[in-house]
Amino acid sequence: MAAAGLSWVRIGEFAWSRLEPKEGAYDFDWLDRAIETLGNAGLKVILGTPTATPPRWMLDKYPDMIALDDHGHPRGFGSRRHYCFSHAEYLEECRRITMKLVKRYGSNAHIAAWQTDNEYGCHDTVLSFSGAARSGFRDWLAQRYQSTDALNRAWGNVFWSMEYDTFDQIGLPNLTVTEPNPAHALDFRRFSSDQVVRFNRAQTDILREHSDAPLIHNYMGRVTEFDHFDVGQDLDIASWDSYPLGFLEDRMEDGDPHKCAYAQQGDPDFQAFHHDLYRAVGGGRWWIMEQQPGPVNWAPVNPAPLPGMCRLWAWEAFAHGAETVCYFRWRQAPIAQEQMHAGLLRPDSAAAPALAEATQVAEEIQGMPEVATAQSHVALIFDYTSDWAWTVQPQGRGFSYFRLVFEIYRGLRKLGLDVDILPATAADLSDYKLVFAPGLFALSADLKTALSRSNAIAVIGPRSNSKTKDFAIPTPLPPDLPGLDATVSYVETFRADMARPVEGGGHVLHWFETLETTAPTTFKMTDDRPLLVGDAGIRYLAGWPDETALARMLDELCLTCDLQTTDLPEGVRIRRTESHKFVFNYAAEPREFDGVELAPADVRWTRL
Amino acid sequence: MAAAGLSWVRIGEFAWSRLEPKEGAYDFDWLDRAIETLGNAGLKVILGTPTATPPRWMLDKYPDMIALDDHGHPRGFGSRRHYCFSHAEYLEECRRITMKLVKRYGSNAHIAAWQTDNEYGCHDTVLSFSGAARSGFRDWLAQRYQSTDALNRAWGNVFWSMEYDTFDQIGLPNLTVTEPNPAHALDFRRFSSDQVVRFNRAQTDILREHSDAPLIHNYMGRVTEFDHFDVGQDLDIASWDSYPLGFLEDRMEDGDPHKCAYAQQGDPDFQAFHHDLYRAVGGGRWWIMEQQPGPVNWAPVNPAPLPGMCRLWAWEAFAHGAETVCYFRWRQAPIAQEQMHAGLLRPDSAAAPALAEATQVAEEIQGMPEVATAQSHVALIFDYTSDWAWTVQPQGRGFSYFRLVFEIYRGLRKLGLDVDILPATAADLSDYKLVFAPGLFALSADLKTALSRSNAIAVIGPRSNSKTKDFAIPTPLPPDLPGLDATVSYVETFRADMARPVEGGGHVLHWFETLETTAPTTFKMTDDRPLLVGDAGIRYLAGWPDETALARMLDELCLTCDLQTTDLPEGVRIRRTESHKFVFNYAAEPREFDGVELAPADVRWTRL
Amino acid sequence: MAAAGLSWVRIGEFAWSRLEPKEGAYDFDWLDRAIETLGNAGLKVILGTPTATPPRWMLDKYPDMIALDDHGHPRGFGSRRHYCFSHAEYLEECRRITMKLVKRYGSNAHIAAWQTDNEYGCHDTVLSFSGAARSGFRDWLAQRYQSTDALNRAWGNVFWSMEYDTFDQIGLPNLTVTEPNPAHALDFRRFSSDQVVRFNRAQTDILREHSDAPLIHNYMGRVTEFDHFDVGQDLDIASWDSYPLGFLEDRMEDGDPHKCAYAQQGDPDFQAFHHDLYRAVGGGRWWIMEQQPGPVNWAPVNPAPLPGMCRLWAWEAFAHGAETVCYFRWRQAPIAQEQMHAGLLRPDSAAAPALAEATQVAEEIQGMPEVATAQSHVALIFDYTSDWAWTVQPQGRGFSYFRLVFEIYRGLRKLGLDVDILPATAADLSDYKLVFAPGLFALSADLKTALSRSNAIAVIGPRSNSKTKDFAIPTPLPPDLPGLDATVSYVETFRADMARPVEGGGHVLHWFETLETTAPTTFKMTDDRPLLVGDAGIRYLAGWPDETALARMLDELCLTCDLQTTDLPEGVRIRRTESHKFVFNYAAEPREFDGVELAPADVRWTRL
């Protein structure tokens, strides 16, 4: 590892059965030796708490600690993440093992960071329909609403006689005859997210008390079931596990031609989006904890990266401000579930192809002065609550909040723009020229204030501010934006094959709102209905634009804001730091840009 | 409402938790006031029994009152219809609340009709696999068969050693290793339908005793799991909830081009089919209880109707003999599950687009003398038992009884013909020139007699009379029709991409029977096998004709019967009453018909 | 039957409820009469044990005797195969009824063979997730591993802290949060197969003791969940139930054009593959126990065979060495689940079309001297364990072991070659010129020895020998073949629409391995990576060839081995016995071959 130029190594994150083979009988010798060996080689160690894999004896002790799926089926022992976030006794056990670890290693000089658990939410593990979750949810509701009268009013339970007399009558929103009350479903998601925060905080409280090393969690790609901003409050650094090829095949709605074109490179924007998102979650500090080094084992198909892509991915991360890029894993494990997951070494310890690329990156990064993140001119709001809300109530096949935000991100990046992602609680937008808040469930008072104080053009909508926090339609009707006379009088969703034409080019997909407005119309439909209205700071967008319509709008908005855009060839992306401009070629073919021929997987940088 | 020209208003159908907030503690004040207010405004009130939404305390009392799905998962509280039709104590509670309501309001002058429950069968709620259903099924079987010996013989249980010694050994036909005995499955469906009849009758018996107002239930579109003719026996008026756009997207097999062409108008025949069906179910008296007034919330996508369609739909209903068309709902509810379901008013009480159309219809209907239903010349038999039987035993992907009947209906309507839909128990066919009985499980003796006494040409088949009532193949082999020498010697189903060519044009889809016959052949396959045989009153159709083949047959049959047909442009439909001929344009483009240019959604009528 | 030339008749296989209507109350009179009647007519009787359909009273006695599916749902009474192979008391009941039957009929002159149970594994019944299975699995593991330490090491349970302290902690590999350890899953499949062997042997032990008639089981098509070679060890003859049309539609991955082209004939190679497979399973002795005689009831669609196909299918079986071809069924049953399953007679006892074909075959076979199976020059290894392994760990959508082997079989048969299928335990390959072992999980020492002693060219791979028996990646890395320097350094799977081009024509699909090798390369990819390497006896194939690439390889390999191939028109197949060459036309159109015009469904034979 040291010879390859690596400086960090993460260990221990699934090792509970070796740390505590029997309840109360600990064995730290092997870990002592491992840390010593690694540290002596000059490596900094990230020590993971092993709470994602409770050992088998734990389930003998607490048979009800497992989660139930939404059909009520148990999700038991035999892989990982077999616990319910709401189980009080298991939480206590996690506190105990964390305490043991940090007391032993909290002041060990080689331990340079801590990782809590592993990939919260992976394998759909945030939502649990267990007895522990049900009783936790009732307590959470009782604290939030204080009385069932208040809850009944907030949820509108008079509809369909769904009123409750006591909190103990309230169930989880699964197994209902038809869909549950969306207010019920959304509160369950809020609760479930809070349980993740609570679970994580139980560990960070202990770790902070006994160690000065920074605290990290490794998030996943497109896991939105818990609020990462909330979890991030208790950590020092956000990190995430970046698997560009697996994500393309497994977690993106794009069609086959796109997936074929990028099968060995990954989507050109998906990783960048998460880099920007987790930079915000980490308050500016973020890492890659796991970078894909070759074929993995878990996607529907598992091709190899094109030569050079491991280097490209690493540099894209650094260009977005990553402090560290770690690879997963060092040596391909010949056993168990991930035996087909490539490492930097093969199972026989020979070098796998990515090792040379990792080594090259390590050398190159030595020659690069610190890559300071530049202030972007464009902000895009990403809000986990909105994702929960529209998952609960899509109102039309094809409406995905994540996707809506991502497509605007992609549109901006295709114009060569750098983007900051902000939470919906953002209270200061003064640094931006252009702000987007698509699909934002409800605008907070803070955000309204920030918008009105900012000089930026803010593009709000579609579907933004369309609900009260209790998931009801407010009066006056949405969007109810300061300084903009516009009312959504009618909402339509439509078939994917019925895109509606926009005057001048492009279409609206999935979602369209008929507006009553006296505001000037910048873009309209071919039937004259307004699509983008407003001419002052706040604009409202009344539909989901396709790629062409979006590009036209962004062009015009950038022109208005005096933001310079760049004409990029298909598959080429750029990113600026304070000091450098980076160019990446995600295409499988050579591309020419700025008079330079870029090979597939090429990365170039120039001083600004 | 009154200002808009509405005359009826339905209330109370989900209000149990407000009528009886705690067990035995009733609160009718709010309902008294509502009825008084509405009545004083000149509106006639339809009062719904609230039994589709038992309040939460009811489930504390009877935890086993809920239905189980076919996997054995409970279908619990949190939405609506969370009860099992077989649960005896819940049925008793329904009697009690119905008695309370009718005693209080039975002689209230404003209460002009009663609705029992709401949309029986919606959300797949007829079939329940609960303990209550199992024990009810055993009783039902014991009464039907008297002995397990008789049942074993009837079902053919000797096959695969499925014989029973006691009725208590008989389970529900779910969770079997491979498919259950079709006779078992069909009897379970007969039983389940009877439970709906029993449930409804428990209320009508009480309502009739204390009120003279007519009794109504609001049926749904394409819900076939219970026999509506049987339920209709206990009611005075049939009504149904007509959601043309939701149904097109959610409940029709037609392909994307058709769904695109009619996305904002609804299928041109689906509503008309149900109008004719429920007219028969209501013994001539029928209503629309809920007419879609804008986008709804429950279909895969939810577009808005084209301007004018709400008016068109109302007139199509009146032209089919509807006494009343009500809209659902008056004001869009800003809360809970249906908050995205449009009303005549918006959530902020401003007028939604459909209000003007409803007002226009109300004005127009004032100027129309009573629209008396004309006697049709064509009859089409629709039989719920047949739908159950072929759902249990499709024998080939793509065989749907509902669809088979509907396609013949559509073919007739495309020729400008008016159709009466009749139950399989029809005993008098003397008014008809042409009668269709496709896919009829078993011909009753009554129907055979009616057919032989009628002067009509009857087209029987495919698959008609192919089983005994016990779901066995009879000997002599089907179709065994009086006066027709034809025997089905061989049944084939085939892939959708293997349509078989009919001599002269068109194809047979899904299903084809090889006939041994000496009867004259009117239509045959290109390989000479007969398709339509017989030249006297009874014809037999040996396959499922596609649109072209069907049109050719109908043309020739109409010619033979001296029935005049009309050449209609795509999307245009006509309907005659005793006094008027109505023309409807369902196309999204203008159409010319009879020398008149019809705008999209146009409705015209002329005196006959 | 006798008049039609049939000589065998199978009875009794589902008759337990008639043999023992109440526990301990037997009724053999009807069976005595049936055997007497059939035997007196000159028919030889195969008597089936009725254990596939335990009567209803058995479930009262042992409610826990049923299997549970992988969601934990019970698979109960009401069809067939409603038992768990691991249930000890039910196994005892099966011994008892078998003993009763064989004691009564073991020396009956008319009983000429015994069939155990019926279609083991049909309806996915090998894997059961019941309590009986779990406790049986724990015992099986304890015997296999002796200690949990050994098991933990073998499975690699240190990964994700999956270590066990006692065998009682080990569950079945269902309902885990993400996929279970593949070693765990594979052992469960080994155990489940062993349970079938045990179940079958319980009957054969008793039958052998009291009867000299041969013992048979009727296997199904493409049921791979138990090791047929293992079960076959305890039987005298292998038989199988051949449903060419049902299998084509239900169990093959081929696309719509292929399924349309052969909808009424069945796939030209699927039956032949099973003939050769079950000939090996039966140690040379095999039958067709059920031959499809017309449309069946269980496939997604159920067309009729083309005229002549029933004869063709019978002759294809005889040409592959079948001793007997029986049809299922004699008379179409008018009742219960299979009422739409055609027989040789219609339900009214008139002749169905296949009866004439069966009669013709019976006459023709009289004129044919015994059809002795010829020794093939080509061997193809089929290994049930490999099928389990790659079902557990496909690593890419589209990777099916059965399919991989079948495609090589099809490629060979399209060249007019006869193929022997061998188990992975084959210890003598001296009779072959060409041997294929694609996807073979692990090469046994015996097979390695046989390969090195043979003069055949052996084509190993892709994915062969890639795991230890404990489902780990071995070191040295695969394929680790004697005399071949080749190492798989990298494994990729890829999208179906991303086929990789082979130099000279054709593509690689689904799976490709990057080799480090000094061996000569016979076929390579267009990017120069080797695809088929080696020039001596052992070759390694590094990817899944498509039809074109496979044909090119087989051509070249046959040339090298001096194996003569035949140019066959689409849909035509040939097969040689010791004395004859048979030609079959599976096409729906006439074909010319060897100067002879073959009608659809034509069969011709010539003396060699």
Residue A128 pLDDT: 98
How far, CA to CA in Å, does C273 sit from each of A391, C377, C567, C580? 48, 16, 20, 19
* Selection from A197, A201, A249 nearest residue A222 by Cα: A249
What residue numbers bound the domain in which A41 lies?
Answer: 8-125+213-366
Domain membership flag for residue B208: no
In the beta sheet, which residues pair with residue C420?
A: C379
Rounded to an integer, the average pLDDT of B581-598 is 97
Instruction: Give the Cα-Cα-Cα angle C398, C403, C404 (nearest 5 degrees).
Output: 90
Q: What is the DSSP letter of B333?
A: -
Residue C83 pLDDT: 98
The answer on C332 and C277 residing in a single domain is yes
Chain A hits for C72, Cβ within 8 Å? 73-74
Final residue of a structural domain among B335, B366, B397: B366
Domain membership flag for residue B343: yes
Task: Work out the pLDDT band at A119, boundaries 50, 70, 90.
Answer: very high
Q: Does C214 touch chain A (CB under 8 A)?
A: no
Residue A371 pLDDT: 75
Q: Which of B184, B395, B471 sits opposite C78 (nearest CB)?
A: B184
Min Cα separation A276/chain B (Å): 33
Query: How far apart, in whole angstroms, are the C-alpha atoms of residue C149 and residue C133?
Result: 22
Instruction: Give the Cα-Cα-Cα angle A446, A451, A453 (nearest 5 degrees).
Output: 95
Interface partners of chain A (CB pairs < 8 Å, 3 or more) are B, C
* Selection from B252, B568, B525 nearest residue B414 by Cα: B568
Count of domains for chain B? 3
* Selection from C123, C124, C122, C104 nearest residue C114 by Cα: C104
Residue B193 pLDDT: 98
The answer on A421 and A311 residing in a single domain is no
What would the pLDDT profile of B130-148 be if each residue is shown by its tens digit? 999 999 999 999 999 999 9
Q: Across all residues in chain B, what is the average pLDDT?
A: 97
Residue of B73, B138, B161 to mutate when probing chain C, most C C-beta within 10 A: B161
Report CB contact under 8 Å: B79, A474.
no
Residue B205 identity (one-letter amino acid):
D
Q: Which residue of A has its CA nearest to C173?
A: A78
Q: Terminal CA-to-CA distance of chain C, rounded, Å?
A: 33
Q: Which of C22, C80, C300 sits opposite B177 (nearest CB)?
A: C80
Residue A368 pLDDT: 83
Chain A hits for C396, Cβ within 8 Å? 300-302
Is the peptide bond prior to B476 cis by the omega test (within 30 degrees of 0)?
A: yes
φ and ψ of B283, to 5 deg: 60, 30
Residue of A339, A345, A357 to mutate when probing chain C, most C C-beta within 10 A: A339
Between B182-210 and B148-155, two packed helices, what is the crossing angle to 10 degrees?
Answer: 120
Residue A329 buriedness (CB in 10 A; 0-12 / 13-18 / 19+): middle
What would the pLDDT profile of A234-281 be if each residue is shown by its tens digit? 999 999 999 999 999 999 999 999 999 999 999 999 999 999 999 999
Query: How far apart, in whole angstroms, are the C-alpha atoms of residue A320 and residue B158?
Result: 73
Question: CA C532 from chain center: how many Å?
Answer: 28
The answer on B519 and B436 residing in a single domain is yes
What would the pLDDT profile of C375-425 be if each residue is shown by its tens digit? 899 999 999 999 999 999 999 999 999 999 999 999 999 999 999 999 999
What would the pLDDT profile of B17-32 be if each residue is shown by its tens digit? 999 999 999 999 999 9
The answer on A224 and A326 residing in a single domain is yes
Min Cα separation C396/chain B (Å): 29
The answer on A525 and A444 residing in a single domain is yes
Interacting residues of B130 by C-beta distance below 8 A, sequence separation 6+: B64, B66, B67, B68, B84, B86, B87
Min Cα separation A544/chain B (Å): 14
Chain A hits for B73, Cβ within 8 Å? 71-72, 175
- Is A328:A246 a contact under the CB 8 Å cutoff? no
Query: How far apart, in whole angstroms, are the C-alpha atoms of residue C382 and residue A243?
Result: 36
Domain membership flag for residue A163: no
The answer on A327 and A289 residing in a single domain is yes
Domain membership flag for residue C182: no
Q: What is the DSSP letter of A367?
A: T
The answer on A517 and A426 residing in a single domain is yes
| pLDDT of C370 above 80 | no
Q: What is the DSSP letter of B518?
A: -
User: DSSP secondary structure string, C408-464?
Assistant: HHHHHHHTT--EEEE-TT----TT-SEEEETT-S---HHHHHHHHH--SEEEE-SST
Q: How many CB atoms lie within 10 A of CB A452?
A: 14
Order across the sheet with B603-607: list the strands.
B572-576, B580-585, B603-607
Domain membership flag for residue B238: yes
Chain A hits for C68, Cβ within 8 Å? none
Residue B372 pLDDT: 85
Chain C hits for A300, Cβ within 8 Å? 396-397
Q: Which residue of A has its CA nearest to B342?
A: A490
Strands (E), B184-321: 215-219, 237-242, 286-291
And the tokens for C130? 């019941």
Min Cα separation A75/chain B (Å): 16
Order across the sheet with A580-585: list the strands.
A572-576, A580-585, A603-607
Instruction: Give the Cα-Cα-Cα angle C472, C473, C479 (nearest 5 degrees).
Output: 135
Site of tokens 């056990």: A93
Q: Which of C159, C398, C493 sits opposite A335 (nearest CB)?
A: C159
| pLDDT of A369 above 70 | no
Is the peptide bond prior to C153 cis by the omega test (within 30 degrees of 0)?
A: no
In the beta sheet, which residues pair with residue B430?
A: none
Q: Which of B175, B176, B181 sits opposite C336 (nearest CB)?
A: B181
- How many CB pairs below 8 A link A and C? 162
Between C182-210 and C148-155, two packed helices, what is the crossing angle to 10 degrees?
Answer: 120
Report CB contact under 8 Å: B301, A161.
no
Min Cα separation A527/chain B (Å): 13
Among A58-62, A177-181, A365-369, C34-38, the least confident range: A365-369
The answer on B313 and B385 residing in a single domain is no
Rounded to an integer, the average pLDDT of B66-79 is 97
Interface partners of chain C (CB pairs < 8 Å, 3 or more) are A, B
Interacting residues of A45 by C-beta distance below 8 A, sequence separation 6+: A8, A9, A10, A11, A35, A38, A39, A110, A111, A112, A113
Pairing of strands B457-460, B538-541: parallel
Within 142-161 of C, beta carbons closer than 8 Å to A belong to 155-161
Helix, strand or coil, per DSSP, at residue B264: coil
Pairing of strands B457-460, B419-422: unpaired
Report CB contact under 8 Å: C347, B184.
no
Binding residues of C for substrate are 80, 118, 298
Domain membership flag for residue B44: yes
Domain membership flag for residue C226: yes
Strands (E), B80-193: 111-115
How far, CA to CA in Å, does C101 sit from each of C19, C57, C85, C110? 9, 19, 21, 14
CATH number of domain containing A118: 3.20.20.80
Query: How far apart, in whole angstroms, are the C-alpha atoms of residue B128 and residue B154?
Result: 24
| pLDDT of A161 above 80 | yes
Residue C367 pLDDT: 87
The answer on A391 and A359 residing in a single domain is no
Final residue of a structural domain among C343, C366, C389: C366
Q: Does C353 touch chain B (CB under 8 A)?
A: yes
| pLDDT of A372 above 90 | no
Report CB contact under 8 Å: A72, B77.
no
Chain A hits for B79, Cβ within 8 Å? 160, 162, 176-181
Q: Which of C160, C475, C497 sits opposite A14 (nearest CB)?
A: C160
CB burial of C319-343 (b: ≥16 within 10 Å; e: otherwise) equals bbbbbbbbbbbbebbbbbbbbbbbb
Pairing of strands B530-533, B521-524: antiparallel
Final residue of a structural domain among C366, C388, C418: C366
Q: Which residue of A has its CA nearest to B257?
A: A497
| Structural Rg of chain A based on CA atoms | 25
What would the pLDDT profile of B503-525 be if each residue is shown by its tens digit? 999 999 999 999 999 999 999 99
CATH number of domain containing C555: 3.40.50.880
The answer on C527 and C446 residing in a single domain is yes
Interacting residues of A580 by C-beta distance below 8 A, sequence separation 6+: A319, A368, A371, A605, A606, A607, A608
Q: Which of C78, C338, C346 sits opposite B180 (nearest CB)?
A: C78
Give me the sign of the Cα torsion angle B565, B569, B570, B574. negative
Within 283-302 of C, beta carbons closer than 8 Å to B belong to 294-295, 297, 300-302
| pLDDT of C38 above 70 | yes
Residue C369 pLDDT: 66
And the tokens for C21? 């209507």
The answer on A598 and A478 residing in a single domain is no
| pLDDT of B329 above 80 | yes
Q: Which residues of C are part of the catalytic machinery?
A: 119, 290
Domain membership flag for residue B119: yes
Min Cα separation C129/chain A (Å): 14
Binding residues of C for Zn(2+) are 84
Which of these is catalytic: A290, A316, A407, A513?
A290
| pLDDT of B538 above 70 | yes
Element (H, E) at C242: strand C237-242
Between A182-210 and A131-145, two packed helices, what is the crossing angle to 10 degrees?
Answer: 100
What would the pLDDT profile of B114-123 be if each residue is shown by its tens digit? 999 999 999 9
φ and ψ of A550, to 5 deg: -60, -45
Query: How far apart, in whole angstroms, are the C-alpha atoms of residue A293 and residue A307?
Result: 11
The answer on B386 and B360 residing in a single domain is no
| Structural Rg of chain B based on CA atoms | 25
And the tokens for C153? 């090491």
